[in-house]
Structure 1
Amino acid sequence: MALASLSLFSPPPPPPPPKTLTAIQNSGVIACLRAHDGKTAMDAASAALRGGISVLEIVMSTPGVLEVIKDLRKDHPSLTFGVGTILNVEDARKAVKAGAQFLMSPCSVTEILLELEGSEILYIPGVMTPTEVLLAYNAGAKIVKVYPVSLLGGEKYISALKKPFPHVPMVASQGVTTESIGRYIEAGASAVVLSDAIFDKGAMQQRSFDEIERLASCAVLQANQAIK
């Protein structure tokens, strides 16, 4: 009888994580793309996807970013696409309307968290300090971006942050190299953001998309090994 009564008051199981969060954790890499025009953005994104990238972020300042997101979602419905450097609700709404599955900011914008509350769209706010991690998580963030991670101490800083916040998924962003992916994931990061490590400035300028595909393939290989 006591056991039966206890079961009646057992808390319900936690809800499953958002599909986009699961996709990011399974990938280990978010490829971050910025380009001078929409055509280059589309070509570079396609090269990265050929290299095995499954989660791609395009920064809001890229001309034609919303059209690129629409086209990518149409051509690759099983992959995950987001828009980065979202700093206000208006841009967040535009990105969501275009089909973005996640939004990312260099800082935490409470208005965007409130705007997306109860939505399937994943918002990844930027944080630096333990206090900012706590505030973002308590405000409803399912995952946070530690930025600029290399200036804060790199993988050692991720390891230090995870000690008080083991339940908070974290993305390491800024200055991460392909060679350091494994160290960040071992330190507790759910994923890393790679920008120049995939979208090399020289390759972008020369439109060397084969090189971008190669760099993407190397990053995916390192991430897969680290996750396993």
Structure 2
Amino acid sequence: MSPAAPPTDLDQLFATVRVVPVVVVEDEAQALALGAALLDGGLPIAEITFRTAGARAAIAAVTRELPELVTGAGTVVNADQVDQAVDAGARFLVSPGLSADVVRRAQHHGLPIFPGVATPSDIMAALALGLDVVKFFPAAINGGVPAIKALSAPFPGLRFVPTGGVSAANATEYLSVPSVLAVGGSWMVEKSLVEAGDFAEIARRSAQAVALAASLAPAVPTVSPAPVAGDPAVAAAGM
């Protein structure tokens, strides 16, 4: 088994904030304006995705100019991007899928990583790599809340960050599941708002997301007894 991920305060931040904005920006200027809007709305965290050519520079600019915003790199799909994110100052990594090479490179750098999982086999591979928090992606088309509840039964103690189809309308439903640490979403940082320069609306939606999370109890690690035969939750999960 690979070594467990290093201790970090990031889990506590996720458990408190509970909403992680998934950001797509083209350049440093957009990133800085958007980061300032998130902070104005009370959201101290952002995942800037490697979906554009300017992602690395954007992460570097935000970590340099807005150090109070805990900035991670998303859509990390290979070990080279791990190195780029580390060089840019990213505080955490998020991947759409599970790659042992990506996870091990992140662990080599001592950086928390949340790989995407969608199946029990994915989860078992993540556990073998020493992980106890995973991204459930894409959440909506992989069964949403019922799927997370079902997967929680055979994997007690594992925590999920569902992303993909999470919105202001259904975030509370996800966040009410005990095994959900936080949710990832882009409804407060929609690309159309960024392109239009409507950072006031981004700040307003961020404040709404903060208020939504504050209305719920903070997340805590989910440590449950091992599933036993006859347990209704296990039966519902088909295990």
Q: What is the TM-score with the length of structure 1 in the denominator? A: 0.86
Query: Does the CA-based 8 Å contact 1:128-1:147 persist in structure 2?
Result: yes
1:168 aligns with 2:177: no
SS of residue paired to 1:227: coil
Q: In 2, distance between residues paired with 1:15 and 1:207?
A: 38
Query: Does the CA-based 8 Å contact 2:49-2:75 persist in structure 1?
Result: yes
SS of residue paired to 1:170: strand
1:129 aligns with 2:104: no
Q: Which runs of 5+ in 1 are unaligned?
A: 1-13
Q: In 1, distance between residues paired with 2:11 and 2:68?
A: 14
| Map of 2:226 onto structure 1 | none
1:191 aligns with 2:179: no
| Map of 2:83 onto structure 1 | 93
* 1:112-144, Cα deviation, whole Å (9 max, x unpaired): 222233643111110001111111121122311
1:30-41 equivalent positions in 2, closer than 5 A: 30-41=20-31
Q: 1:37, CA displacement in angstroms?
A: 3.1
Moved more, 197-206 or 159-168: 197-206
Q: Which runs of 5+ in 2 are unaligned?
A: 219-239
Q: Number of aligned pairs?
A: 214
SS of residue paired to 1:57: strand
Q: 1:98, CA displacement in angstroms?
A: 1.0
1:145 aligns with 2:154: no
Moved more, 218-227 or 85-94: 218-227
| Map of 1:50 onto structure 2 | 40
The one-letter code of the counterpart of 1:182 is T
Q: In 2, distance between residues paired with 1:138 and 1:107?
A: 15
Query: Does the CA-based 8 Å contact 2:6-2:112 persist in structure 1?
Result: no
| Structure number with bigger Rg | 1
1:219 aligns with 2:209: yes
Query: Does the CA-based 8 Å contact 1:38-1:62 persist in structure 2?
Result: no
